[in-house]
């Protein structure tokens, strides 16, 4: 079956999914979680095949080590994903929510109701845990999906998709072709051309992937290009808190898009504090890049080649700034509008930073690694959106819904509301229907 045929069937499935009751969707989630746990061994075995091939590519210099880390699926990581699917059952159904209700006139009531987007295409690189996460999110939000993973994770993706598709087939009333997987670049290009079927494309990968997708489709695109996250250490920052947060943000999972990539130090922060912080990072395996002023504080590997750099590993750009306004200017100029943080004890500085930094996530005294749908309580996420569309930041269940207007009348016609004797509209706010 070619991509156009898959998309046509998936589109039909999306209409069925939009009307599924919450109980059916939750049953689908439980079935998927159970199947993932039962078939964990074969999924991990498939992942080992992908890891071996990727390891050889890394050793040959054809792939970055960060890609290998993103590809790795451990038993603990899989169990975390499974628990996320199970916890999604407890979340409220995002579909059918009354967002607003207005009486236009007596007996003529307008409701704004949340509904699924429809058919979503997701193109992603390396991370195979994307498959069950997105399968669960689209199931709960009533969307159909076509997934296209990178060739480096093909064995793992195939195993996951097979397990999940078989699980969904056991749920009464759940339509076939709700969850689909394609493989090749040619199929990806065909998907991007099918604007008559797809309602949204979500790329999860680097800047080149996002640029390619945007240049080759008429379908709306939701995603982020880079994760150039910053931490600004203000002059009143507590040293121990700063060491703890910066270390977590850089070393807890360096290849994540919410890992900090640039550290901005206020010139007025005490020099002994700066030396202590930077030496602490170096002891934790972080390689520093900065100018001569930074080299006087700690060992650096050289100057920063480009302030808009996403290392994806234990490397960190470091710069001193005069004040909070210079920090904000740097972040808005060189950042990726993903997640940026200020460390300070000054409330006024917090408000300035929060208001002026133009990012999807703006933090105070917390690691940038919190930028995640699971940690936000969304159950999971389809990705991070740094754009300014209907969804921004981690895109969870609500981000996979749109809305429609439902008008309930009793024979009203527009002609009665125009002309010299026009009836007036009441436009009175109502409770939910």
- Reading the block at residue 25, the tokens are 């969707």
- Write the CATH number for 244: 3.40.309.10
Q: Strands, E, within 200-348: which ranges?
A: 200-204, 229-233, 260-266, 287-289, 315-321, 339-343
pLDDT tens across 354-397, in order? 999 999 999 999 999 999 988 998 877 888 888 888 888 988 89
Instruction: Give yes or no: residues 215 and 237 share one domain.
Output: no
Instruction: Give yes or no: residues 234 and 170 share one domain.
Output: no
CA distance 338 to 364: 15
In a domain, 289, yes or no: yes
In a domain, 387, yes or no: no
CA distance 208 to 230: 22
In a domain, 136, yes or no: yes
Instruction: Give yes or no: residues 185 and 242 share one domain.
Output: no
In a domain, 51, yes or no: yes
Instruction: Supply the pLDDT for residue 61.
Output: 85
Share of the chain above pLDDT 70, in %: 99
- Reading the block at residue 67, the tokens are 């890609």
Instruction: Give the domain range for residue 217.
Output: 3-223+395-404
Instruction: Give yes or no: residues 309 and 400 share one domain.
Output: no
This prediction's pTM: 0.84
Instruction: Give yes or no: residues 143 and 28 share one domain.
Output: yes
Instruction: Give yes or no: residues 235 and 123 share one domain.
Output: no
Instruction: Give yes or no: residues 195 and 266 share one domain.
Output: no
In a domain, 46, yes or no: yes
Judge residue 108's burial from the number of C-beta atoms within 10 Å of its C-beta, 0-12 exposed, 13-18 middle, 19 or more buried.
Answer: middle
In a domain, 80, yes or no: yes
In a domain, 380, yes or no: no
Whether 264 has a pLDDT exceeding 70, the answer reads yes
- Write the CATH number for 31: 3.40.605.10
Domain count, the chain: 2
Whether 75 has a pLDDT exceeding 80, the answer reads yes
CA distance 383 to 394: 6
- Residue by residue, DSSP assigns 405-426 as EEEE-SS--GGGGSSTTPPPP-
Instruction: Give yes or no: residues 138 and 178 share one domain.
Output: yes
Instruction: Supply the pLDDT for residue 432.
Output: 52
Whether 433 has a pLDDT exceeding 60, the answer reads no
pLDDT tens across 196-219, in order? 999 999 998 777 888 899 999 999
Instruction: Give yes or no: residues 216 and 251 share one domain.
Output: no
pLDDT tens across 239-253, in order? 999 999 999 999 999
pLDDT tens across 80-104, in order? 999 989 999 999 999 999 999 999 9
Instruction: Give yes or no: residues 247 and 307 share one domain.
Output: yes
Instruction: Give yes or no: residues 233 and 145 share one domain.
Output: no
Instruction: Give yes or no: residues 244 and 192 share one domain.
Output: no
In a domain, 161, yes or no: yes
């Amino acid at each position: 079956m070619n991509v156009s045929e898959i998309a046509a069937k998936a589109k039909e499935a999306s209409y069925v999914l939009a009307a599924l009751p919450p109980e059916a969707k939750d049953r689908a989630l439980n079935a998927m979680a159970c199947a993932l746990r039962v078939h964990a061994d074969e999924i991990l075995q498939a992942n080992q095949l992908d890891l071996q091939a990727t390891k050889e590519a890394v050793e040959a210099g054809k792939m970055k080590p960060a890609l290998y880390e993103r590809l790795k699926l451990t038993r603990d990581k899989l169990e975390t994903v499974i628990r996320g699917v199970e916890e999604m059952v407890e979340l409220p159904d995002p579909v059918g929510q009354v967002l607003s209700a207005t009486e236009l006139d007596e007996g003529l009531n307008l409701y704004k109701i949340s509904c699924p987007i429809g058919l979503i295409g997701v193109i992603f690189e390396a991370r195979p845990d994307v498959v069950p996460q997105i399968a669960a999110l689209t199931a709960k939000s009533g969307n159909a999906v076509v997934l296209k993973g990178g060739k480096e994770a093909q064995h793992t993706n195939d195993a996951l998709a097979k397990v999940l598709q078989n699980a969904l087939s056991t749920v009464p009333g759940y339509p076939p072709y709700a969850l689909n997987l394609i493989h090749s670049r040619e199929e990806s290009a065909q998907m991007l051309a099918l604007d008559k079927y797809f309602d949204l494309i979500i790329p999860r990968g680097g800047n080149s992937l996002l640029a390619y997708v945007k240049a080759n489709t008429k379908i709306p695109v939701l995603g982020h290009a880079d994760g150039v996250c910053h931490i600004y250490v203000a002059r009143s920052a507590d040293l121990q808190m700063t060491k703890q947060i910066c270390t977590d943000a850089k070393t807890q999972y360096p290849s994540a898009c919410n890992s900090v990539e640039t550290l901005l130090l206020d010139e007025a922060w005490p020099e002994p504090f700066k030396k202590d912080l930077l030496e602490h990072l170096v002891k934790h395996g972080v390689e520093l890049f900065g100018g001569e002023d930074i080299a006087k504080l700690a060992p650096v590997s050289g100057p920063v080649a480009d302030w808009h750099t996403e290392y994806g590993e234990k490397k960190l750009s470091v710069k001193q700034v005069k004040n909070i306004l210079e920090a904000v200017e740097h972040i808005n100029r060189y950042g990726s509008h993903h997640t940026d943080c200020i460390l300070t004890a000054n409330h006024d500085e917090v408000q300035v930073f929060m208001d002026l930094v133009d990012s999807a996530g703006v933090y105070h005294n917390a690691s940038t690694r919190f930028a995640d749908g699971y940690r936000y309580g969304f159950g999971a996420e389809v990705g991070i959106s740094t754009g300014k569309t209907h969804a921004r930041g981690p895109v969870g269940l609500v981000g996979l819904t749109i809305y429609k207007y439902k008008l309930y009348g009793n024979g009203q016609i527009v002609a009665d509301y125009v002309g010299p004797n026009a009836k007036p509209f009441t436009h009175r706010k109502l409770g939910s229907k």
